[in-house]
Amino acid sequence: MKKTLTTFEAFWPFYLGEHSLPATRWIHFVGTTIALVNLVMAIVYLAPLYILSALFSGYLFAWVSHFFIEKNRPATFTYPAWSFIADWKMWALMATGRINAELARHRIAPKTAAAPQAEA
């Protein structure tokens, strides 16, 4: 049985581990950036439809990267609020060039595919 995470401090390394592959992080970054642009557009043009577009783009990019690249279940399904906060934290670290240092600090390395088992 998986341990339930009870603090954001415990969740954050888990979140980073679920985003171990650079492609997953970059697809998240693109989706979150598009979401941010849509939120700005919603404010500038007072057009709430952009908010829906922000949600759609943010989650679509993230979920595609989890299902097809990282091959795991998005953390937002279990920890929606912390996942949302962590996504923005990861985005900020990537935008400022500090994500690699954060990954190293938590000893997060890209996951690799398991080697095929030899038949006996």
Give tens-digit pLDDT for 68-115. Answer: 999 999 999 999 999 999 999 999 999 999 999 999 999 999 987 544
Contact 93, 99 (CB under 8 A): yes
Instruction: pLDDT band for 41, please (50, 70, 90 cuts).
Output: very high
pTM for the model: 0.87
> What residue ranges do the domains of the chain occupy?
15-105
Which class for 36: exposed (0-12), middle (13-18), buried (19 or more C-beta within 10 A)? Answer: middle
